[in-house]
C-alpha cells in the first residue's frame, strides 16, 4: 500500500496530516519525503544512522577551451542566454543552463559536451516508525521531479508488505506528478480558503489523468462554512470521498513546535485524524 499525502498548495497542513497518519498506523512503515525543496518529515520522525549520497541529476554544458574558437554559434542558439563569448572563448553560466544540448549540436569544433553535476543529496535513515528516505536539492538546481523519482525508487526498493506513507510536495508541477505516479491512493489536504479551493480543483485535474484513487480531508474546517460546503459539493461532483474534517486546534501548533505528531496529544484534532485514518483504511479495504 502506497499513500501520497498532497495538497496542491503550501500551508494547508499536509505534513501534519501525513505525520498523523504515519503515527496512527500500526506495525512498521516506510516513510518518504518527496518535498525535496523543503523536506521536513524528518523533523517529526527523527532518523538515526542517516547516510547521504550525492545526486547528479542535472546536465550542464561544458566547454573545452582548447577546442573552442569563440565563433559564437552556441551563443546565438541558446534561448536561455546561458552561453556567451568572452574575448575569444565561450563561457557557460551554470545557473542559467538548462542542459538542453542545443549548443552541442551547432558547435563546429565539438568543443561543447553535456556533463552531469551534483545537484543535491539523497538521505536515508531509520526512524521509530521505519525507514525514512528524503532529499535535499541544492539552491539553484533544477529537475526536482527526477530527484523525487529517485527518492521513491529508494524508498520502495526494500518494500515487501510494509505500507508506504509519502509526504508530497506542494503545487501541481513535475515534483507532484513524480510523487503520485504509481501510488495506490492520494490523500488531498485542503482548507476553506479561496486559493486552497482553487488549487484543490487543479490538483484533482492532474490526479484524474493519472487514474488513482483520491480522498480529501478538510483541515481547519470550522473557518468558513460556505467554503467547506463548496469543497464538499465539488468533491461530491467528482466522486471523491471527503474522509476527514479537522477543526482548528491550537494543540496542532503545540505539536509542530515540539516536532511531534499532533496525534500524541489528546485533542479535537487528534479525534478527527483518528476517524480520518479509520475511514481511509476502511474504504481501501485495509481493515
- Domain with residue 68: its CATH number is 3.30.70.20
For 221-277, write each residue's pLDDT tens digit: 999 999 999 999 999 999 999 999 999 999 999 999 999 999 999 999 999 999 999
106, 146: one domain = no
Domains: count for the chain: 2
Helix (H, G, I), strand (E, B) or coil at 91: strand
| 108: containing domain | 58-117
Q: Tell me the mean pLDDT in the region 57-85.
A: 94
Domain CATH for 159? 3.40.50.300
Do 275 and 211 sit in the same domain of this protein? yes
211 and 90 both lie in a single domain? no
Other C-beta atoms closer than 10 Å to the C-beta of 100 total 16
Residue 108 and residue 219 in one domain? no
Q: Model-level pTM?
A: 0.87
In the listed set 72, 90, 117, which residue is the last one of a domain according to the structure? Answer: 117
- Provide CB contacts within 8 A for 205, sequence distance 6+: 172
Amino acid at each position: 500500500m502506497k499513500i501520497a499525502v498532497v495538497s496542491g498548495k503550501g500551508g494547508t497542513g499536509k505534513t501534519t496530516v501525513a505525520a498523523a497518519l504515519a503515527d496512527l498506523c500500526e506495525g512498521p512503515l516506510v516513510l518518504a519525503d518527496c518535498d525535496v525543496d523543503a523536506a521536513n518529515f524528518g523533523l517529526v520522525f527523527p532518523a538515526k544512522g542517516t547516510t547521504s549520497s550525492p545526486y547528479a541529476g542535472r546536465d550542464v554544458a561544458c566547454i573545452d577551451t582548447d577546442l573552442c574558437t569563440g565563433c559564437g554559434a552556441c551563443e546565438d542558439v541558446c534561448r536561455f542566454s546561458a552561453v556567451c563569448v568572452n574575448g575569444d572563448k565561450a563561457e557557460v553560466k551554470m545557473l542559467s543552463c538548462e542542459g538542453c544540448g542545443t549548443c552541442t549540436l551547432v558547435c563546429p569544433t565539438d568543443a561543447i559536451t553535456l556533463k552531469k553535476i551534483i545537484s543535491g543529496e539523497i538521505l536515508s535513515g531509520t526512524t521509530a516508525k521505519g525507514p525514512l528516505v528524503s532529499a535535499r536539492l541544492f539552491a539553484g538546481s533544477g529537475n526536482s521531479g527526477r530527484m523525487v523519482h529517485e527518492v521513491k525508487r529508494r524508498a520502495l526498493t526494500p518494500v515487501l508488505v510494509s505500507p508506504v506513507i509519502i509526504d508530497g510536495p506542494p503545487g501541481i508541477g513535475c515534483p507532484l506528478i513524480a510523487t503520485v505516479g504509481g501510488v495506490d491512493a492520494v490523500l488531498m489536504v485542503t482548507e476553506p480558503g479561496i486559493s486552497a479551493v482553487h488549487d484543490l480543483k487543479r490538483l484533482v485535474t492532474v490526479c484524474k489523468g493519472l487514474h488513482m484513487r483520491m480522498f480529501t480531508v478538510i483541515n481547519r474546517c470550522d473557518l468558513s462554512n460556505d467554503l467547506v460546503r463548496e469543497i464538499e459539493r465539488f468533491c461530491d461532483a467528482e466522486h471523491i470521498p471527503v474522509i476527514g474534517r479537522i477543526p482548528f486546534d491550537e494543540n496542532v501548533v503545540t505539536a509542530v513546535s515540539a516536532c511531534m505528531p499532533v496525534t500524541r496529544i489528546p485533542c479535537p484534532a487528534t479525534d478527527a485524524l483518528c476517524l480520518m485514518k479509520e475511514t481511509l483504511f476502511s474504504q481501501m479495504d485495509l481493515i
